[in-house]
Structure 1
Amino acid sequence: MVKPFDEQPGIIKVTSGYTGGETENPTYQEVCSERTGHYEAVQITFDSSIYPYEKLLELYWQQIDPTDPGGQFYDRGKSYQTAIFYHSEEQKKVAVQSKQALQQSGKFLKPIVTEILPAKVFYEAEDYHQHYYKKNPQHYNRYQVGSGRAAFIDNHWGRENDK
């Protein structure tokens, strides 16, 4: 989820990590064990005067399968389920409206299952996870195609949105 946001104007920082669970300072292995309650997530620091929250949500929806309750593409389990973590009541309201608009758009035949949850403590992932797409471009690109993610995005949103 880092790449689509990373080079957008107004995006200050995109950090890979874990949130939503109860385990303090979890490791990747612990999160993947499905015993921490955490989601794999990104924390985005942005200048809302340049890149508003609504635009963040729009780009987010275009990077996921919001109808899959079991994870994302090859990655299965709670830690891979989609969620939006809000930091204020205004963000919650906008996220809920965004989800409702997507559901009503008819773009997806199945219900939108992405949860909208209050933000919890965010734990930064290990260094090797940060900007993984830059550190391991061949593996990253193979995964995009092999997992079906690239085809899904192209089918639902068109190539111009797979950044």
Structure 2
Amino acid sequence: MTKMMRRSFLGALAALALTMPHAAGVNAAEQATAIVAGGCFWCVEHDFRQLQGVSNVVSGYTGGSRANPTYEDYHDTDGDNPVPHVEAVEITYDPTKLTYANILDYYFHHIDPTDGGGQFCDRGPAYRPAIFVMNDAEKKEAEAKSADVAQAIKQQVAVEILPAAKFWPAEDYHQDYAEKNPTRYKYYRWNCGRDQRVEEVWSAAKTN
């Protein structure tokens, strides 16, 4: 191939590339993220994986003062680490299929919004429920949804609304835990009373 032919060929390729949508760019533009905490991240992750429009859910730690937290130390409060992280999940979703309000509504219907001291059998600040908002618009939506829930269940909502902080993904063995360890997961979830309490809260709301 001569130099002239090569230049023409490369020029044609460049022109073609400009007319084609960049796959990575299109995908990135279609994705949004939300960070919430609702007790055991295995359970919150598994619940959100069932929601159509969610493409990925990552279990992790956020909201605390320790850098590079691990499962062994994310909840420590000694020394230079006075603020514990909370178990949380980072949800990636398609905003053409789901709104942030949809995410929040689903979240509230899969936790106990009245319990700020933990969730179900998991107690303490590391398991407290929280919504980590990324901007003022999300904060307003979270506040509005929290007010709606309080009215629906006729109880005070104990879910914190906090500014988003760095999200640290948990160790690999925590990711997709329900799929990797189905028997242990189902036993833990049932023994913890998660679904029973959620049903109790929201069944009462339906009758109010």
- The normalised TM-score by structure 2 is 0.71
Question: CA shift at 1:156, angstroms?
Answer: 3.0
Q: What number of residue pairs does the alignment pair up?
A: 156
Higher-RCO chain (CA-CA 8 Å, sequence separation at least 6): 1
Distance in structure 1 (CA, Å) of the matches to 2:77 and 2:159: 18
Find runs of 4+ consecutive structure 1 residues off by over 4 angstroms.
none
Query: Is the CA contact (8 Å cut-off) linking 2:120 and 2:197 kept in structure 1?
Result: no
Give the residue type in structure 2 aligned to 1:2. Answer: E
Distance in structure 1 (CA, Å) of the matches to 2:76 and 2:110: 24
Distance in structure 2 (CA, Å) of the matches to 1:9 and 1:24: 33
Structure 2 residue runs of 5 or longer lacking an equivalent are 1-43, 204-208
Matched with 1:143 is 188
Query: In structure 1, the residue corresponding to 2:88 is in which secondary structure?
Result: strand
Query: In structure 2, the residue corresponding to 1:28 is in which secondary structure?
Result: coil
Give the residue type in structure 1 aligned to 2:186. Answer: N
Query: Is the CA contact (8 Å cut-off) linking 1:34 and 1:79 kept in structure 2?
Result: no
Higher normalized helix content (fraction of residues): 2
Matched with 2:65 is 22
Give yes or no for the alignment of 1:66 onto 2:120: no
Distance in structure 2 (CA, Å) of the matches to 1:80 and 1:89: 25
Give yes or no for the alignment of 1:10 onto 2:57: no
Superimposed CA distance per residue, residues 13-47 of structure 1 (whole angstroms, 9 cap, x where no aligned partner): 10000000111110011024355521100001111
* Mapping 1:115-126, distance limit 5 Å: 115-126=160-171
Matched with 1:97 is 144
Query: Is the CA contact (8 Å cut-off) linking 1:34 and 1:78 kept in structure 2?
Result: no
Structure 1 residue runs of 5 or longer lacking an equivalent are 159-163
User: Percent of pairs identical after alignment?
Assistant: 41
Query: Is the CA contact (8 Å cut-off) linking 1:34 and 1:77 kept in structure 2?
Result: no
